Amino acid sequence: MEHSMGALQSFIASYGWVIGLMLVLVCYKLVLRFFGVLVVPDNHIGIVNKKFKIFGTNRNLPEGKIISLNGEAGWQADTLAPGLQYFKWPWQYQIKFEAFKVVDKAYIATVEATDGISLTNKESNPTGRVFGKHVDCDTFQNARMFLSNGGERGTQISIVPPGTYRINTAMFKVADAKIQEVPDNMIGIVTTKDGRPLATGDIAGVEVPNHNMYQNGQGFIDSGGFKGPQVQVLMSGKYLLNPLFATVEYEKLTPVPIAEAGIVISYVGEAGQDVTGAEFQHANMVVKGHKGVWVEPFDPGNYPINPRTHKLELVSTANIVLNWATGKTEAHLLDEHLSTIKLRSSDGFPFPLDVSQIIHIPRNFAPMVIAQFGSVRALVTQVLEPTIGNYFRNAAQSSTVIDFVNNRQQIQQNARQCITEALAKYNVIAVDTLIGDLIPPDELMKPLKDRKVAEQEKLTYQTQELAEQTRKQYQEARALADTQASVVAAQRQVEIAKHTADAAVNTARGQADAKTLVSVADAAVIVNVGNAEAGRTLAIGKAEAAVIELKVHSMSSENFARVEVARALSTSGQKLVPDIIAGGSESNGGTMVEVLLANIVQKQLDAHKNGNATS
């Protein structure tokens, strides 16, 4: 034990100065505080609670007050800035250090004042506001200014924007809230918690000026803004809204598609003057901003329309097809409740009829249609459905089923004209009326079907007969085509032969002409030669005659004849003596000579005849 005490005394002796220095450093604040000196840390303020007041008047706070302005005992309006503060005796003042209020850039701060004029005070708050009015107080950093300028107790309509602030938390209760951000392609529907009450029958407060899209709550109230849903909407973006004063709900932008017009029906605003003129007696229309149907339609695009206060009716400016046919519905669904029309003919037969009606609503007439009916669907239900149904029922009751079927085209034309006139009264154009399937009763259709079958069979037979004739003509044409080459060749041969014959004729004719000329020349030669020969012969004959005459004179004529016969026989080559001589005698020599002469003469005659026959 003694050893331990000795060691402690030795340690203190060696390091006593260190221990003393540490005690001074730890206790200097207590020492300073004892003498009324206070050090307020950086980034902090001192919230002062005065425990008592020794001298003077106003020692205690007035009844109902919490914050002291005149040095009364209690929480003081003024705060202590960072640094040294004097005369803040610990037995008289309770100091609480409070860090600076830092509002992040994504937030705002709402404020509730614990002191100020009561909102129930009729003199300061005759309209019954539920939020404390805005007063100049350096963004709630000066409680004295707040109270001096008539600040009111309770939730404040003003907010603290992002930043760093020295706020007396004994006077103001501050809470963070996110900055209001409206997403892209959406709008913010605002509902305010303060302002004038709405009049009976109104559903939303009209747009008022000077409030910077509800960010200046006091400006909204001062401009006569109404409590409750608001007509004016917030576009996409960030807003420093007091969430205790105004709440926001998001809605998508209202689209108006291509080939459609948007007709606005406003449920808020002043009752405007009708702008349709004397010619349009069915309903009233007003200009934009007034209550009723706006006369100017919206063209295709996206619009920030408040669906709580306005209604946008879309009207197709393209052709609209409506089907009175069970189970057949177009994409617009305007005809989803329409069905096949049931008709009854004059002869008592029921039969169904499908009808398609094409209509067109021009852009400038679309507001008139909405003003009259409220929607295109109502137009279909109240006008088109009864008009078309009744027309065809009346047409069917004045005609038999067979006549209705046979006169379908004429009935369709009449229906188009009648419906066009009926819709024109409502500023709707009837483009066309088309009759669909006609299904008469089977007991009526069977004879027609049988007749048609017979006609078709007859037509089939005629067609087949015509086909056979055509096939026959085809076969003939084909055979003719197959022999065409031979025919052409034969024709060419004929033409060639003809040309050859013509050439031969021309050649022969030329030769004949040449021969004719030669013959004429030859004939002349022959004539000349003949004449010469004749002369020669005549001369010779005359000479021979003279000789013969001399011979005759020298011998008798009979002997002269015999001599001449013998000479002729000797030069003829004829056998004078036959190889065999039958009978006869030498005494008959004269007779034998006569026989020989007779044979020679006969052969000469036969030879002459044969020559003539051959030529």
Three-class SS of residue 200?
Answer: coil
Pairing type for strands 67-68 and 74-80 reads: parallel
Instruction: Report the domain count for the chain.
Output: 5
Does residue 10 lie within any of the structural domains?
no
**pLDDT score recorded for residue 582:** 43
Indicate if 415 and 297 belong to the same structural domain.
yes
Q: Rounded to 5 degrees, what angle do the CA atoms 147, 152, 154 make?
A: 125
3-class secondary structure per residue, 547-568: HHHHHHHHCCHHHHHHHHHHHH
Q: Are 356 and 321 in contact (CB under 8 A)?
A: yes
Q: How far is CA 229 from CA 113, 154, 178, in A?
A: 27, 23, 21
Per residue in 137-178, pLDDT tens? 999 999 999 999 999 999 999 999 999 999 999 999 999 999
Highest mean pLDDT among 268-282, 459-473, 543-557: 459-473
Spatial strand order of the sheet with 228-234 comes to: 228-234, 186-192, 246-252
Domain span at 563: 557-614
Tokens of 428: 């709707």
**pLDDT score recorded for residue 228:** 95
Indicate if 260 and 389 belong to the same structural domain.
yes
**pLDDT score recorded for residue 585:** 42
Q: How far is CA 109 from CA 146, 160, 181, 189, 236, in A?
A: 17, 5, 15, 22, 22
Please measure the distance between the N-terminal and C-terminal CA atoms of the chain and give it in whole angstroms.
201
Surface-to-core class of residue 67, CB atoms within 10 Å of its CB (0-12 exposed, 13-18 middle, 19+ buried): buried
Indicate if 341 and 467 belong to the same structural domain.
no
Q: What is the DSSP letter of 382?
A: I
pLDDT tier at 588, thresholds 50, 70, 90: very low
Indicate if 228 and 119 belong to the same structural domain.
no
**pLDDT score recorded for residue 272:** 76
Q: Look at residue 569 and tell me whether its pLDDT is greater than 80.
A: no
Indicate if 60 and 81 belong to the same structural domain.
yes
pLDDT tier at 615, thresholds 50, 70, 90: very low
Does residue 309 lie within any of the structural domains?
yes
Indicate if 275 and 414 belong to the same structural domain.
yes
**Beta bridge partners of residue 475, listed in sequence order:** none
Per residue in 467-506, pLDDT tens? 888 888 888 777 777 777 776 676 777 678 777 767 776 7
Question: In whole angstroms, what is the distance from residue 428 CA to residue 439 CA?
Answer: 31
* pLDDT average, residue stretch 224-236: 95
Does residue 59 lie within any of the structural domains?
yes
Among 87, 65, 67, which Cα is nearest to 78's? 67
Indicate if 363 and 425 belong to the same structural domain.
yes
Say how far residue 463 (Cα) sits from the centre of its chain. 44
Indicate if 196 and 332 belong to the same structural domain.
no
pLDDT tier at 536, thresholds 50, 70, 90: low
pTM of the entire predicted model: 0.63
Question: In whole angstroms, what is the distance from residue 437 CA to residue 352 CA?
Answer: 8
